[in-house]
Amino acid sequence: MKKSPLKVIVTITLIVVALLVLLVVLVNRDSESFGIEFDEAPSTEGQPTDGEADAPVTVVEFGDFKCPGCKAWDENIFPQLQEDYIDNGDVQYSFVNVLFHGEESRLASLAAETVYAQNPEAYWDFHHALFSEQPDGNQQAAWVTMDKIEEVADGIEGIDTEALMEDIEADTYMDEVERDEEMIDAFNVESTPTIMVNGVMIDDEGTFDYETIQQAIDAELGE
C-alpha cells in the first residue's frame, strides 16, 4: 500500500513533536535535579571574588567562618574548584557571610569585610587562613577573638594590621556585613555552606561531594 504524502508529513511532524517534548523534559530534569532555581544568580557587587569577572558561571558560597562544614568545604572542595574551574576562567567564585553563630560570626565577618575593603588582593589569603584556624572537635568552643584576628592578619602580606584592628573596633565596614545579611534573607539561606551555581541553589542534602557541584557547573557551562 502506497503511503500518502499527507500521512508521511503527519508522521514526521509527530516524531519531531515527540522529540521536542522529550528534549524539554530532559533539559528540565537536568536543571531541576541540582536544587532550587532562582530567576537570577546572587549579585556579586561589592563581594570578594576569585576568578575572571567575565566567567560564564558564578559560584556563590554563603558561609560562616564558625561553621565546621564551611571549613571542610574551604579545605577540601574549594581547592579542586579552583584548579578545575576558577583558574581557567570558567567560574568566578564569591563568598557571602552568614551569621548563624552569634558574636563570633559577626566578628569574623566584619574582619573579613575590613580586610577586603583595605586590600581586596589580601582577602582570600585571610579567608583561607581564618578557616584553617577553626579548631577541629568542639564546634561550640570560642576561637574568633580580636587576638586571633590580629595573629592571622599579621601573617598575611598586604594587610595593615593596625589599621585593620582600628576599623574593626570602629565597625567601619559593618554596612558590608549587613548587605550580606540582606542577601541571606533574599535567598532564604537556612544552612551553611549554601552553594549557588548561577541561579541554582544546590540541594545535595548537605553531602557536598565534589561530583555534584561539578555536574551542576558543567550543566551551566553546557557540557
Pick from 212, 199, 215: nearest CA to 73: 212
**Residue list 115-154, contact with Ca ion (CB under 5 A):** none
Q: Please say which residue, 63 or 212, places its beta carbon nearer to Ca ion.
A: 63
Binding track, positions 9-48, relative to Ca ion; x by CB under 5 A: --------------------------------------x-
Backbone angles phi, psi at 190, to 5 degrees: -115, -15
Residue of closest CB approach to Ca ion: 180
The distance of closest approach from Cβ of residue 109 to Ca ion in the complex, given in angstroms and rounded to an integer, is: 8
DSSP type of residue 44: -
Question: H or E element: which one contains 140?
Answer: none
Q: Please say which residue, 104 or 180, places its beta carbon nearer to Ca ion.
A: 180
Q: Please say which residue, 47 or 118, places its beta carbon nearer to Ca ion.
A: 47
Considering only residues 50, 74, 104, 180, which one is a binding residue for Ca ion as defined by CB under 5 A? 180
Backbone angles phi, psi at 93, to 5 degrees: -105, 145
Q: Please say which residue, 120 or 135, places its beta carbon nearer to Ca ion.
A: 120
> Does residue 64 touch Ca ion according to CB under 5 A?
no
The distance of closest approach from Cβ of residue 136 to Ca ion in the complex, given in angstroms and rounded to an integer, is: 26
The distance of closest approach from Cβ of residue 25 to Ca ion in the complex, given in angstroms and rounded to an integer, is: 39
Backbone angles phi, psi at 97, to 5 degrees: -75, 135
Find where cell 590580629 sits.
150
Alpha-carbon gap, residue 68 to 160, rounded angstroms: 28
Alpha-carbon gap, residue 115 to 176, rounded angstroms: 12
Residue span binding Ca ion (CB under 5 A) among the ranges 9-17, 34-42, 121-129, 173-181? 173-181
Pick from 91, 82, 126, 109: nearest CA to 192: 109
Which residues bind to Ca ion, rule: CB under 5 A? Answer: 47, 180
